Amino acid sequence: MPLILLNKPFRVLSQFRSEDGRPGLADYVTNRDVYPAGRLDFDSEGLLLLTDDGRLQARISQPKSKTVKTYWAQVEGTPSSAQLSKLEINVKLKDGPARALRAAQIDEPKNLWPREPPIRYRQSVPDSWIEVRLIEGRNRQVRRMTAAVGLPTLRLIRSGVGPWRIDDLKPGQSREISNKDAWAALQGGR
């Protein structure tokens, strides 16, 4: 069976079915024998991996595996070096301290698709893009971390998980790789 790399659209659940009628993975993935290796919030976009291999799912998603997740966050304001350093050193959250492996200001990502509905635009408040890399994946962690340092997240896109990148996948599009190739990629074999 394959590892499915899906660009999860904005306002889609990271599960196949919803009791309240919200869109889910069933609207984008025909293979029902797979399950997500990690989650993305309803209001976050980007790379979501799905597999039928329980060991592979655990290897990708469990914090002890230290699989790096890369996010692009459009934030309100212009980040200072102190704010970026704080993200890397220690941010105090209600459920404990958190830190990014890397936090850096970046240009707006190339080939970025428009979001529907669009982000609110305010002339008096600039926005910027930052890249945040984590090995954890607590609930709404990137949003909570950026807010804690004074940079509220307006849009959040997961651009990478371990060796996989979103590349040119548009929202709702996916591609497959074999589980054998997925294991090889995790072990640095590609």
CATH number at residue 54: 3.30.70.580
Digit-coded pLDDT (tens) for 127-175: 999 999 999 878 899 999 999 999 999 999 999 999 999 999 999 999 9
Choose between 21 and 41: higher pLDDT: 41
Same domain for 72 and 154?
yes
Q: What token pair was written down for 109?
A: 């990502």
Same domain for 90 and 130?
yes
Would the pLDDT of 123 be above 80? no
Residues 6+ apart with CB under 8 A from 55: none
Domain count, the chain: 2
Tell me which residue range forms the domain holding 25. 1-65+167-190
Task: Give yes or no for a cis peptide into 63 (omega within 30° of 0).
Answer: no
Would the pLDDT of 189 be above 50? no
Same domain for 20 and 58?
yes
Answer whether 14's CB lies under 8 Å from 8's CB.
yes
> Closest by alpha carbon to 122, among 73, 74, 76?
76
Residues 6+ apart with CB under 8 A from 20: none
**HSE on the CB side for 51, CA within 13 Å?**
20
Same domain for 72 and 58?
no
Digit-coded pLDDT (tens) for 26-84: 999 988 899 999 889 999 999 999 999 999 999 998 888 889 999 999 999 999 999 99
Hey, CA dihedral for 36, 37, 38, 44, is it positive or negative?
negative
Same domain for 179 and 157?
no
Same domain for 143 and 80?
yes
For the annotated catalytic residues, the residue numbers are 41
Same domain for 78 and 147?
yes
Q: State residue 121 phi and psi, 5-degree precision.
A: -115, 130
> Closest by alpha carbon to 11, among 3, 2, 21?
21
CATH number for the domain harbouring residue 77? 3.30.70.1560
